[in-house]
Amino acid sequence: EQIEKGGYEHFMLKEIFEQPKSIHDTLRGRLLVNEGIIKMAGIWDHLERINQAQKITIIACGTSWHAGLIGEYLIEEFARIPVEVEYASEFRYRNPIITDKDIVIAISQSGETADTMAAIKMAKEKGAFIYGICNVVDSSIARITDAGSYTHAGPEIGVASTKAFTSQLTILSLIALKLGKHNGNLSNQEFMRLITELDALPKKVEEVLESTHEITKEIAKHFVDAQNFLYLGRGYNFPAALEGALKLKEISYIHAEGYPAAEMKHGPIALIDENMPIVIIAPRQGHYDKIVSNVQEIKARKGKIIAVVNSGDTQVASMADYVIEFPETSECFSPILASVPLQLLAYYVAVYRGANVDQPRNLAKSVTVE
Ligand code: AGP
């Protein structure tokens, strides 16, 4: 096992550090920037059908569901096809409106999640075309779907999903850009700009790992005894906030909630005092001014602010107690970069609390029972 961990203390840390490679592997052979194309065997034969879909429903659980939420933003922005995202466990029991004009995208790292599997079977019976996004090759979900793409993130052993998540976001970005280019919603110029950004992500993730590792380790020390955490983000980074909170709760057992930053005033603001740590994801693109006023509200209530901002940020950073910086990219790709320090933060808080990071209590890597 020590050899498999490759010198890292835990699989989770190893997998966090593998992300430049796993994202690169997800893109490999698919993103051909010089030729200006995205080549995806899984989607090519079905482009017409997908582009003519009345709606796309994304079904998944846990972290994969968070990836699905970002997928909704991506597909609606670039391909202009309506998308709904559902927990597979809810979808399967509520007789949803699905027809043979619908596309269902099922996302699952393991490809074995019982709820996702059952939801796929139901959608299939209703005539929908099912597209799978799985990491484990030849898994049950990969076999039952009509078409699909593997994330190629490599084996993920840590129960807390890390590299599979960023690879799911990468695949969803490819799909959204491919559909948008094909159906004419995305201009050639914009497509080229975005694929160039996408291509730069493995390198940027490497930079994020280098620049945030020590600082997240340091910040984590201050929150070992925290009892609650709030994670806030807007737009593409709202699901990133949900995912950051899930990471922390599953491995450190600290209660954490993710919220859209603007929803704070509708309830969670009542929780804020000097004992409440708040992680706020605030890249320059994407409602930055709005986030600044959210941060002012938190500051006025003495919340402890951990700001995850772009390099060189001054406004949010000047109000924060702790600052984590990451390089700029398009807003739609920012969750891929912002998630990395959130994974590291959760990891180190859990390690300092003496938790079993790779095998958290009560959790299994793949949930094959209902
Ligand atoms: C993630 O850290 C979790 N352990 C969990 O939420 C997981 O994402 C969920 O069970 C779905 O698994 P799947 O992607 O293998 O279907």
Mutual angle of helices 19-27 and 201-221, in 10-degree steps: 150
- What residue owns the CA closest to ligand 1's atom 5? 62
Q: Which of 59, 70, 108, 109 to mutate to test the pocket of ligand 1 (most atoms within 8 A of CB)?
A: 109
72: three-class secondary structure by DSSP: helix
Q: What ipTM is given for this predicted complex?
A: 0.98
Q: What percent of the chain has pLDDT over 90?
A: 88
Res 143: pLDDT: 96
Cα 363 to ligand 1 centroid, rounded to whole Å: 10
pLDDT the model gives residue 286: 78
- Bridge partners of residue 131, in order along the sequence: 105, 147
Assess whether the C-beta atom of 367 lies below 6 angstroms from ligand 1. yes
Mean pLDDT for 68-81 is: 97
What CA–CA distance (Å, rounded) separates 141 from 86? Answer: 17
A 10 A CB-CB count for 359 gives 16
- So what's the pLDDT on residue 77? 97
Helix, strand, or coil (residue 306): strand
Question: Cβ(247)–Cβ(346) under 8 Å?
Answer: yes
pLDDT at 308: 97
pTM assigned to the model:
0.96
Does residue 64 have its Cβ closer than 6 Å to ligand 1?
yes
Residue 294 makes CB contacts below 8 A (sequence gap 6+) with 232, 261, 262, 264, 280
Closest ligand 1 atom to Cα of 365: 4
Over the stretch 194-214, which tens digit does the pLDDT of each residue have? 999 999 999 999 999 999 999
Report residue 142's pLDDT band, with 50, 70 and 90 as the boundaries. very high
Q: Which residues pair with 87 in a beta bridge?
A: 60
Which pLDDT band holds residue 44 (cuts at 50, 70, 90)? Answer: confident
Q: 38 phi and psi, to 5 degrees? A: -115, 125
In whole angstroms, what separates CA 225 from the centre of its chain?
27
Closest atom of ligand 1 relative to the 363 alpha carbon: 4
Classify burial at 273, counting beta carbons within 10 Å of its beta carbon; exposed 0-12, middle 13-18, buried 19 or more. exposed
Q: Catalytic annotation on 126?
A: no
Q: Does residue 328 have a pLDDT over 80?
A: yes
For residue 203, give Cα distances in angstroms to 155, 177, 193, 244, 312.
21, 20, 17, 22, 19
What CA–CA distance (Å, rounded) separates 344 from 347? 5
Secondary structure element (H or E) that encloses residue 255, with its range: strand 255-260
Could you give the CA distance from residue 122 to residue 47 in angstroms, rounded to a whole number?
A: 23
Q: Are strands 304-310 and 83-87 parallel, antiparallel or unpaired?
A: unpaired
Distance 62 CA to ligand 1 centre (A): 5
Strand 37-38 and strand 255-260: the pairing is unpaired
The yes-or-no verdict on residue 250 having pLDDT over 90 is yes
Q: What is the pLDDT of residue 45?
A: 81
Question: Can you give the pLDDT at residue 88?
Answer: 96
pLDDT band at 52 (very low <50, low <70, confident <90, very high): confident
365 by Cβ neighbours in 10 Å (0-12 / 13-18 / 19+) ranks as middle
Q: pLDDT tens digit string along 255-310? A: 999 999 999 989 989 999 999 999 999 999 878 999 999 999 999 999 999 999 99
pLDDT of 300: 94
Calculate how far, in angstroms, residue 249's C-alpha sits from the geometric centre of ligand 1: 13
Pairing of strands 228-233, 277-282: parallel
Amino acid, single-letter form, for residue 259: Y
Q: Name the strands in the sheet holding 228-233, side by side, starting at the edge strand that comes first in the sequence.
A: 255-260, 228-233, 277-282, 304-310, 322-326
Angle at 192 between CA 188 and CA 195, to 5 degrees: 135
Q: What sections of 255-353 are H helices per DSSP?
A: 288-300, 315-319, 334-352
Decide: 161 in ligand 1 pocket, CB within 6 A.
yes
Distance of CA 112 from the midpoint of ligand 1 (Å) = 10
pLDDT at 219 over 90: yes
User: What pLDDT does 43 receive?
Assistant: 82
Q: Which residue has the tokens 């090519």?
A: 44
Contact 252 CB / ligand 1 (< 6 Å): no
CA of residue 334 relative to chain centroid, distance? 10
Give residue 6's pLDDT band: very low, low, confident or very high (50, 70, 90): confident
Whether ligand 1 lies within 6 angstroms of the CB of 158 is answered as no
First to last CA, the chain: 30
Instruction: Report pLDDT digits (tens) over 29-40.
Output: 999 999 999 999
Ligand 1 pocket check for 359: Cβ under 6 Å: no
* Average confidence (pLDDT) over 87-97: 93
Q: Please report the atom of ligand 1 found closest to the CA of residue 247.
A: 2
Report how far ligand 1's centroid is from the alpha carbon of 299 (Å).
34
Length of the chain: 370
Q: In what order do the strands lie in the sheet with 83-87?
A: 83-87, 56-60, 103-108, 129-134, 147-150
Which whole number is the average pLDDT over 175-183? 95
Asked whether 243 and 342 are in contact (CB, 8 A), the reply is yes
- CB of 71 within 6 A of ligand 1: the answer is no
d(CA 24, CA 291): 31
